[in-house]
Amino acid sequence: MIRFARVVLLALILAVLMSLMPSKAAQAQLEDSIPTAELDPTFAVEWMDLLYQRIMAESYNPPSAARLYGYAGVTLYEAVVWGIPTNRSLVGQLNGLNDLPYPDDGTYDWTTVANAALNTTLNGLMFEAGSETHDAFNAFYAEQIAKSETEIDADVLNRSIQYGQELGKGILAWADTDNYRETRDLEYEIPTGSPDLWIATNPDLPPVEPFWGEIRTFALDYTDVCDVPLDMPFSEDPESTFYQQSLEVMNTGDDLDREQRDIAEYWLDNLGETGTPAGHWLLIENQMVDHLDLTLDVAAQMYGMTNMAMADAFTSCWGLKYRVLLLRPETYIQEYISPRWRPYIATPMFPEYPSGHSVVSGAAAEMLTTLFGQVAFTDTAKVQFGMAPRSYTSFDAAATEAAISRLYGGIHYRTAIENGVDMGECVTNHLLDRIIMNQITQGE
């Protein structure tokens, strides 16, 4: 009886998936379209860079920014997936994504589909943004369409625009159910009563996204599935691990050399001053397009998978932060070691454990390594801010540096850093286990 029920369930799932596929006639028509593998992804890099710039200008906080990058990655992938014969849509694979428009009979230009979809999605997602952001999106979109008008038959262009806009609206309808709007106006009161609890280091500022753990993830079954429990009991004893790790933060901060200061500043990625930590890794993705000579099909997979991993990493991390509610090193050190001590980097307004930089960097590096293998590269993400490029022998090497930068900055204990990287890697591996995208083979 159980076996029969499983067979019925599998048949139903197959029927749903088949219903989401274009008809054989439509697939035959789609074959007349230029395959995604033959298309240049430069426009996608430019969209992602523009999104980074507008997130910076609008001062989106790290979790909110990661969410936007996640939806942008999904939008790009879904816009071009029907031009990748070996690949599957994410419909039925991501949480809450049960349906999206798919192309009808006819020839499509997948670049135009993606331009229309991204413009529709990003304008809708950033509904809180000012007119300059929407004007920037619309102006870039107009440039792309004007370019396409000189290269593509009018019927193909119009068909592609219409499908891209419908797809964008479908993704917006899905995004609108992720609990983002519902968490905007909730009030939060910081718990008190225990010496290990987080205390606001800047009472004039509100806590950053205390309800972010309630945002729907892209592919994690549960927000807490990758939680790494805090394994360092709070203690005031100078011989305890907690005291010793706090002392390490203080001593390291008091004796930073030039290289350590450079690392702390390079990975700072403050909101309003950069496109946030996930944005730093997005710019690394942008660099990989040229560095690895990616075509649009592979670039779309990279943005889709890596951006979702970063978004889920932040949701997972923030959920744990506000469950553990651990005090910051600055607070502990001033209370038990040195009352006048200050960190090299100002302590942000959210709980300590785990380190967000570590979680997102662990997730991004794990995904990029799975996709491309060991890649040595020179990161130019911060050149626009007057910083020199930094070179790494692998994505993991960059993630390790990003994580330890928070110790140099004086804002995280070592356990939050090391456990955070493990947590981010777990997030990516859960996504890889769940999502079937027919990814490229590792190392190719």
| Residues comprising the chain, all counted | 444
Mean pLDDT of 9-18: 38
Share of the chain above pLDDT 70, in %: 92
Dist. CA 29–CA 271, nearest whole Å: 46
Per-residue pLDDT at 438: 77
* Structure-block tokens of residue 408: 């140099």
Give the CA angle between residues 295, 298, 302 to the nearest 5°.
Answer: 130
What are the extents of the domains in the chain? 33-175, 193-434
pTM: 0.92
Per-residue pLDDT at 15: 40
Question: Which tens digits make up the pLDDT trace of 41-86?
Answer: 999 999 999 999 999 999 999 999 999 999 999 999 999 999 999 8
Q: Is the preceding omega at residue 22 within 30 degrees of 0, hence cis?
A: no
Mean pLDDT of 330-354: 97
Does the pLDDT of residue 295 top 90, yes or no?
yes
Per-residue pLDDT at 10: 36
For residue 437, what pLDDT band results from cuts at 50, 70 and 90?
A: confident
For residue 21, what pLDDT band results from cuts at 50, 70 and 90?
A: very low
Does the pLDDT of residue 383 top 90, yes or no?
yes
Does the pLDDT of residue 22 top 80, yes or no?
no
Q: What is the mean pLDDT of the chain?
A: 92
CA gyration radius, the chain = 23
Mean pLDDT of 205-230: 97
Other Cβ atoms less than 10 A from the Cβ of 438: the count is 12
Give the DSSP letter of residue 38.
Answer: G
Dist. CA 27–CA 292, nearest whole Å: 30
Question: Which CATH code for domain 193-434?
Answer: 1.10.606.20
Fold topology of 33-175: Vanadium-containing Chloroperoxidase; domain 1 (1.20.144)
Per-residue pLDDT at 440: 47
Mean pLDDT of 200-219: 96
Question: Which tens digits make up the pLDDT trace of 85-120?
Answer: 989 999 999 999 999 999 998 999 999 999 999 999
Mean pLDDT of 150-154: 94
Does the pLDDT of residue 25 top 60, yes or no?
no
Continuous segment of H or E residues that includes residue 379: strand 377-379
For residue 31, what pLDDT band results from cuts at 50, 70 and 90?
A: low
Q: pLDDT higher for 7 or 402?
A: 402
Per-residue pLDDT at 11: 37
